[in-house]
Structure 1
């Protein structure tokens, strides 16, 4: 089953069941969507958006990753200032599709450089920490420290991806023995 396969974007998988109760575009930002907030209460955390970690959902243990459809709105905010630096007006407008594509371009370039397939569009990834680490932040800190300890530069590269992939598998095995 695609849901249980490692090294995949779960292309044929279905979103988390909590996402199925909601449809349509929302004016909220991704982290403010009700389904994301509900999943956070259950221990899921949004995957980091930093380019360093763009590959993370692909290599994350399948039992500890899920996704919901991205029905959020990304906003462009324009602030006007007077000659003294005081704000005189603020306008927010949804980003147009071409602008959204530009936001994804850097991530897609990193994935291509790593030899990984493109991400399926329109997904918000959520992850749970595998193993005994309590939070996603703790897992990321652990992975960075592991790489540095092995003399690997912490940057989106094949040299960084390799130990991350192996360590995530190790943490998943630890989770399996604890369950």
Structure 2
């Protein structure tokens, strides 16, 4: 059976440079008010982006995109960034309250995972493997990665505006159409 999620091991090695990340985790565990670490701060993400790859991040709308993107032009790395929840203590930022960042509970993470699974299911896909950060690049010399992503986004808006599809399903169908068109050369 074809695996749209590319179950083979990561094609990019995870670097052991976690000093700053461990410091951020320590601050989060102490409940300090810091910006949560982001995936693009990891050295492997920086290396990929410097080589022309685009990080899809954890945007739910892009969740199913790796399943339709050409296999040689998508890679993933292990998601070494802790999942966090940011909550306001004392009201709102305008009245001097403080944002508190904490590690996301397993129950809250399960809710996120179930939501992402529902997006896969809605598109007719098996659940995506956990703990991956996907990067893509354009396999076509005639268009940049951002150009392909923009075209997919524009087509998704047109499909979703008809009111018969959810945004996530419209995005998946738009990706299939746009990538299919480029792959066939039309």
TM-score past 0.5 threshold: yes
Q: Alpha carbons of 1:21 and 1:153: their partners in 2 closer, same or farther (altered >3 Å)?
A: same
Q: Equivalences for 1:3-22 in 2 at 5 Å?
A: 8-11=4-7, 13-17=8-12, 19-22=13-16
Higher mean alpha-carbon deviation, 26-35 vs 36-45, is at: 26-35
* TM-score in terms of structure 1 length: 0.74
* TM-score in terms of structure 2 length: 0.72
Q: Which runs of 4+ in 1 moved over 4 A?
A: 82-85
How far apart, in 2, do the equivalents of 1:84 and 1:65 lie? 39
Q: Equivalences for 1:12-161 in 2 at 5 Å?
A: 13-17=8-12, 19-22=13-16, 26=21, 27=25, 28-47=37-56, 49-81=58-90, 85-131=94-140, 132-136=142-146, 138-146=147-155, 152-153=159-160, 155-157=167-169, 161=172
Contact 1:129 1:139 survives alignment (8 Å) = yes
Segments of 5+ residues of structure 2 without an aligned counterpart are: 26-36, 162-166
Report how far residue 127 of structure 1 moved: 0.8
2:81 aligns to what SS in structure 1?
A: coil
Segments of 5+ residues of structure 1 without an aligned counterpart are: 175-179
Q: How many residues align?
A: 164
Report how far residue 142 of structure 1 moved: 0.9
* RMSD of equivalent CA atoms: 3.1
